[in-house]
């Protein structure tokens, strides 16, 4: 499995389990060395590897989160997975719209989705009861850092993009809750 979007020179890990070794190294790079990881992320990395990475993180997250529930494990597992897998697409879309408003033609949707998908490595810790709010903030921080490192924007511009994205996501959720009560 060759990933053209990143190069990690770390040879430590699960020797002989190449796919798991690669995923483990990517997770460690994102969580512990995000500046270096995002500096190496190419602007046009493609959709395939970030989406596969997001799928694997979402799957592991939903399995671990489901183990912490007492009933309706199948339903909750499916909901955990759908939330973990599809919310980054919505977040990336809103962040992309914010970039179109604040800094036109700097990022493609593909780049924003790649940054967002890799930032969701925090899902691997989000299933632990009581810390999901911390990992949510960490995810947005990683998205902002990724935008500042991958694109030619300042950290303050990335922070504004993240604020707009989080605000729009909050309004979208409030609208969905309001619409659910009316129906």
Q: pLDDT (tens digit, 9 = 90+) per residue, 54-109?
A: 999 999 999 999 998 888 889 999 999 999 999 999 999 999 999 999 998 899 99
pLDDT higher than threshold 50 for residue 11: no
pTM over 0.95, yes/no: no
Count of domains observed in the chain: 1
Say which residue, 156 or 22, is predicted with more confidence: 156
Residue 13 falls inside a structural domain: no
pLDDT higher than threshold 80 for residue 131: yes
Residue 111 falls inside a structural domain: yes
Residue 7 falls inside a structural domain: no
Q: What pLDDT is attached to residue 22?
A: 82
Q: Indicate the average pLDDT of the chain.
A: 87
Give 32-37's long-range contacts (Cβ < 8 A, gap of 24+). Answer: 34/142, 34/145, 34/146, 35/145, 35/149, 37/6, 37/8, 37/118
Class of residue 84 by CB neighbours under 10 A (exposed 0-12, middle 13-18, buried 19+): buried
Residue 98 falls inside a structural domain: yes
Q: What pLDDT is attached to residue 44?
A: 52
64: containing domain: 18-182
Residue 102 falls inside a structural domain: yes
Tokens standing for 109? 């949707």
Q: What pLDDT is attached to residue 183?
A: 63
pLDDT digit string, tens, across residues 19-55: 778 888 899 999 999 999 998 876 556 788 899 999 9
Residue 91 falls inside a structural domain: yes
């Amino acid at each position: 499995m060759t990933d053209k979007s990143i190069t990690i020179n770390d040879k430590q890990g699960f020797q002989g389990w190449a796919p798991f070794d690669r995923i483990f190294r990517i997770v460690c790079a994102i969580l512990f060395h995000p500046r270096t990881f995002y500096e190496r992320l190419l602007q046009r990395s493609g959709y395939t590897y970030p989406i596969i990475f997001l799928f694997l993180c979402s799957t592991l997250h939903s399995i671990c989160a489901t183990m912490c529930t007492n009933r309706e494990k199948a339903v909750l597992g499916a909901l955990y997975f759908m939330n973990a897998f599809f919310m980054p697409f919505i977040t990336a879309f809103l962040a992309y719209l914010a970039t179109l408003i604040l800094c036109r033609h700097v990022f493609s949707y593909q780049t924003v989705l790649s940054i967002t998908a890799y930032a969701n490595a925090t899902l691997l810790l989000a299933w632990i009861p009581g810390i999901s709010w911390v990992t949510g903030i960490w995810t947005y921080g990683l998205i902002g850092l990724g935008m500042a490192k991958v694109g030619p924007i300042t950290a303050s511009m990335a922070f504004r993009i993240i604020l707009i994205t989080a605000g729009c996501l909050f309004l979208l959720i409030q609208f969905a809750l309001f619409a659910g009560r009316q129906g």
